[in-house]
Structures are given as C-alpha cells and as structure tokens.
Structure 1
Amino acid sequence: MTVTDRSGLRQFEESGFAVVRALFGPAEIEELCAEFTALHAAGPVPGHFEPRATETESTADPLHSYPRVLHPHRISALSLRRLLDPRLRDILRTLLGEEPLAAQSMFYFKPPGARGQAPHQDNFYLRVEPGTCVAAWIACDAADRENGGLEVVPGTHRMRVFCPEEADPALSFAREHVPAPPGLTAVPVDMAPGDVLFFNGSLVHGSGPNRSPDRFRRSFIGHYVGRSTQRIGGFYRTLTMSGDPVALPESGGAGPCGTEFTPRAPH
C-alpha cells in the first residue's frame, strides 16, 4: 500500500487493518534489533524497561527477563526516528485523513516460551476523543502462528470499545480479554521482517504464546492519532511527526496498552 494505493485504503476502511510489505529494509530492521539487544544487555531503565528476572524466574517466565519496552522513543534516538519516519507519516496521513500525531512507542521481544497478549482494543487504553488511534506494528522477525504472530478480528473497528473480560494468565501477560463478537472470527496476519501492519484502534487483536523452540517474535509499535484529536490519556504525550510536543487535554481511564498480571512468585 502506498499513499495512492486505493486498494490498501479500501481494505483498511472495510476490515480495519492493512499490511504494507517490506516498508523497512533488512539493514533498518537489523539496526533496530541491535538497538534493543544493547538496551537489554545494559539492564533496567526505570519507567521504560524493567526486567525482574532471577535465574529461577527466568526459567519459569521468559517475560520476566524480556518484558516489553514502553516509550523507547523517549530514551533512544533511533526509536524516535522510527516512530516519526516519513514513510509512516505518509501512510498515516492517508489512513487518518489528516496530519498524524505520534502518541506512543513500544518494543516487544517475545522470546520462545513467552505468553501472548489476549485479544484487546488499543483505544481502551489510549482513550482518544473523538475518534480513535491507529497503530503501526513493525515486524522485526518473521511473525506467524508458531511464534505468536498477531491475529485480528476484521469488522470490529466499526464497533464500540468493549468492556473486557479477564484473560487466562497462562496464555496472556495482560489481564484484558475481548472475545470476538458473535459472527466474527479472528484471522492470523503472517508477516516478514520489515512489514508493517496498520490497524484501527477499535480493532480487536491479540496474539497467542510463542510456541517455537528458538525463535523470537520482536516488533516495534507506534500509536498515532489525528491532529484534530481533542483528548488523550495522560500516559501519552503527543508529538508532531517533526518531533515537536503537542499538549492535549487528558481523558480519563487511560493506561499503558495492556494491564499486566501481578508477577508470579518464583518456583
């Protein structure tokens, strides 16, 4: 999909998501992975990356030593460049119908054996008013059913934000679970490194555990809103795609994308 690709825009409008293949090249993805490999090796960064591993815990739950990284664009110049990349800006401007603002970045390591994230809707957390957000999910490894690739529920982008149920903690690191509404079914989105999945903030999506013996499923995610947005959750600080801060009034009930279960005690 490009700015002028009407079929990509039509799929986004009809299904709530669209994949742009090979938007980022191999060298760009390798650079991004190397950045987060170095961050992991350097240890905790309070408020952004806080592994809590002991040797015993790490064996029990890989996410104790490889938790997601929140807002890496605030601590990494490379992450900020990726979040504000002009290629993303061009596509987001088409999808949103106006100039985008960047609201959040995240990086998921998702090592072998890691739990997934139960189906959920991003705007449950961002609380964008009016309208919703759009995610740009950049695959840094091949993502498929074996290693916990994303699944989406087409059509849910036209629905309200649901009140979630509680997820199964054996399968999901986050508490919230939104089942597929009656008559709708989750479909997998297989991706190669450098592919980008764009999806509506009301689209129900999630992933299962990484059941591969030796494959990570790393990804870099940005969340964006339209320039006409009037309110957003206080956890988020919007930027223009040139990097200038844009202060927006705060909406209530917001939080990070996924409320994590209380860490399990070591075995």
Structure 2
Amino acid sequence: MAKCICQQKSDNSSLPVSYPTLQDGGDPVKLFQEHGYFVVRQLLTSEEVESIKSEISAIVAKWYTQWLETGMDGNDWETAANREPAWKEGRWQPASDKPADIELGFRRLYRMTLESQLFDRIAKHEKIVSTVSKLIGNDIKLLQSMALLKPPGASEKMWHQDNGYFRLNPSRIMGVWIALDPANCANGCMHILPQPYTEDGQFYKHAANVDFHIEYGMVDRPNPSDVVPIILNPGDALMFHSHLAHYTPPNNSETRRRSVQFHYASSECQRIKCPKEEGGADHGMYFDCDPECQEQKYYYYKKGETLISGRDFGEGYV
C-alpha cells in the first residue's frame, strides 16, 4: 500500500503542509464550509497546557492507587481509565510507581469533566465555546471529554468518522483536539481526509473490529495522496466536523503524544435508533449489526456530559 506523505519523509518537521488556520477576527464558518476543519494556533497557553498535564498525572495516580488497593480496573466505558492492551495482557508493567512511568501504560481517559474541575473549565473555555457556538449554535452540550495519552509504542486509531460512534441527528457535532506535546508524524499526529462541511455529509462504510468491537472504523482506507497529517505544537488545536474522516498512526517514536479532545453537539441532536429497536429504521452505514449486535458497547458515546450553554431539551435529546 502506498504511504501518505508523512511516511515518505525521514524528517517530517519540514513537511510541505499548510492548513486553513483561524486567525483573530477570522470567520470559522467559512473555513468549516470550505474545508471541514481548521487549525487554531496557541488556543491554550503554555501554563494551561502544563496544568492539564499535571491534572492527567494526578488522575492516573489516583486510579493506580485504587487499582492496587481494590483490584478494580474501572473500565466500564463510562468514567474509565483505559490501559494499553500490553499491560492488560501482562506483556508490560510500569518501571516504577512514579506517575510518568504509570502513564506510559495508558491509552486514554474518558469523561474527564466528570472527574476534574480543571477539565470542566477547559471544556467551557471562552475561546473554544465562542468558536463552537458560531458553528453549531448557542444551545451546546458537551458529548465527550477525553485525554489521549498515546505513549511510545501505542497502536493506531483506525480511520473513522465521529458520528459513526455518536449516531446523532442532526449531525451538528464538532471535535476540538488540542495538542499537549508536539504532535508529529513519528509520534502519531492526527491525519485527516478533508471534506467540506454539510450537515448531511458523506458517510463511509464502517464495521467493528472482530476481536475488539469497541474499535469501530471505516472498512476502506482513503487514498494516501488525499490524506493530510496535522502537525501541531503544544496548545495548538484542530477543530473539525463529525463527518471528517480521521486517523492516528502508531507512535513509533520514544516520546509521548498527549492531547485532550472535546466533542460538542447542538442540544437539539437526538439519538438515531438502532434498526433493532422499536421505532428504529435502517440508517444505512451507521450501524454494524453483523455478526452480533454490539450497540450497548457504544452507549457511552451518546450520553452527554454537561450543558455548555443555552438550552437543555431534556429527555430524548443529548
């Protein structure tokens, strides 16, 4: 298989890549409509970035202490610390009880605004919310907050579209992915398939991983020549819509690639019912019902964390 541009170069620091970038006073709607994504340089200050990294370390240390004392993993796909498979399978152990060593065994942390006041404040950051409101309206729910830790040796996150997980209608949903470390091709930066934004969007056929059904992604990989690697510095952000196909390659470096990711949706979004539910309809490629229904394992993606601004429409909505 042909390799994308970042894999063709041994030194990706000088990749000939430029991105649509939101400048002060710029129009995010125009960028969204034309490209489906844009980059915001220095969305967070270096002080904010360091405080988030410290908070991640504290959360991991708390989880590790609980695990040692109780043996409970806590991996219920709700408020969870998700370890690397190698640790779960006994092929890797932390070198010490120091947070920096323990963190090397984690893939991600879920629903962090429910665990941390700092994450809650960052999710409601004025610079983020003011941009999001211009794109999806003033009635905003936070669908999901995550810390993506991508330690050295971490595997790829397969190609996918976010509304393949969320399955909401209308698809007024956007992601905000913020780098905490330099994110480059060697350590697994975001790779995207640019697509102008429309509410209906283009949806690609998805299927669940046979061995690990929560890993749900596109059946066909994009043409490598169409793929754009998003190289970011700490504090930089990628903002993108829920139909934008994206992927992160393995971390083949010796450095971590930590990031935080928030997904926001219009409070008017409603869950698309599974075809097997009462009142459900065939929504084409949103559901993977073969060989067995895995819908319950996706439930946590549809349970909004908190109201960010405006109205909450209550039962039946996010």
TM-score range, shorter chain: 0.7 to 0.9
- When residues 100 and 3 of structure 1 are mapped into structure 2, their CA distance, relative to the original with a 3 A threshold, is farther
Structure with higher Rg: it is 2
2:229 is aligned, of 156, 170, 188, to 188
In 2, Cα distance between equivalents of 1:55 and 1:231: 35
Partner of 1:29: 49
In 1, Cα distance between equivalents of 2:244 and 2:42: 23
TM-score, normalized by length of structure 1? 0.79
Partner of 1:260: none
1:49 is aligned, of 67, 75, 81, to 81
Q: Secondary structure at the match of 1:241?
A: strand
Matched, 1:206 2:247: yes
Give every structure 1 segment of 4 or more consecutive aligned residues whose post-TM-superposition deviation is greater than 6 Å: none
Q: CA deviation at 1:242?
A: 5.2
In 2, Cα distance between equivalents of 1:80 and 1:110: 22
Partner of 1:108: 148
Partner of 1:263: none
Q: Read off the aligned partner of 1:14 and give its amino acid letter.
A: E
| Pairing of 1:119-198 with structure 2 (within 5 A) | 119-155=159-195, 157-158=197-198, 159-165=201-207, 174-180=215-221, 185-198=226-239
In 1, Cα distance between equivalents of 2:315 and 2:25: 31
Preserved contact between residue 26 and residue 194 of structure 1 (Cα < 8 Å): yes
- Structure 1: give runs of 5+ residues left out of the alignment: 252-267
Q: Secondary structure at the match of 2:81?
A: coil
Matched, 1:58 2:92: yes
Partner of 2:118: 78
Q: CA deviation at 1:86?
A: 1.6
Matched, 1:5 2:45: no
- When residues 38 and 107 of structure 1 are mapped into structure 2, their CA distance, relative to the original with a 3 A threshold, is same
Preserved contact between residue 204 and residue 218 of structure 2 (Cα < 8 Å): no
In 1, Cα distance between equivalents of 2:122 and 2:245: 25
- When residues 55 and 101 of structure 1 are mapped into structure 2, their CA distance, relative to the original with a 3 A threshold, is closer
Q: Secondary structure at the match of 1:221?
A: strand
Preserved contact between residue 104 and residue 151 of structure 2 (Cα < 8 Å): no
In 2, Cα distance between equivalents of 1:153 and 1:65: 29
In 2, Cα distance between equivalents of 1:54 and 1:184: 36
The size of the alignment, in residue pairs, is 245
Partner of 1:16: 36
- Structure 2: give runs of 5+ residues left out of the alignment: 1-21, 68-72, 94-101, 273-297
Q: Secondary structure at the match of 1:68?
A: strand
Preserved contact between residue 140 and residue 310 of structure 2 (Cα < 8 Å): no
Q: Secondary structure at the match of 1:23?
A: coil
- 1:87-108 superposed Cα distances (whole Å, 9 cap, x missing partner): 1110001122444221110111
In 2, Cα distance between equivalents of 1:243 and 1:68: 29
- When residues 182 and 212 of structure 1 are mapped into structure 2, their CA distance, relative to the original with a 3 A threshold, is closer
TM-score, normalized by length of structure 2? 0.67
Q: Secondary structure at the match of 2:39?
A: strand
Q: CA deviation at 1:27?
A: 0.6
Q: CA deviation at 1:118?
A: 1.1
Partner of 1:225: 265
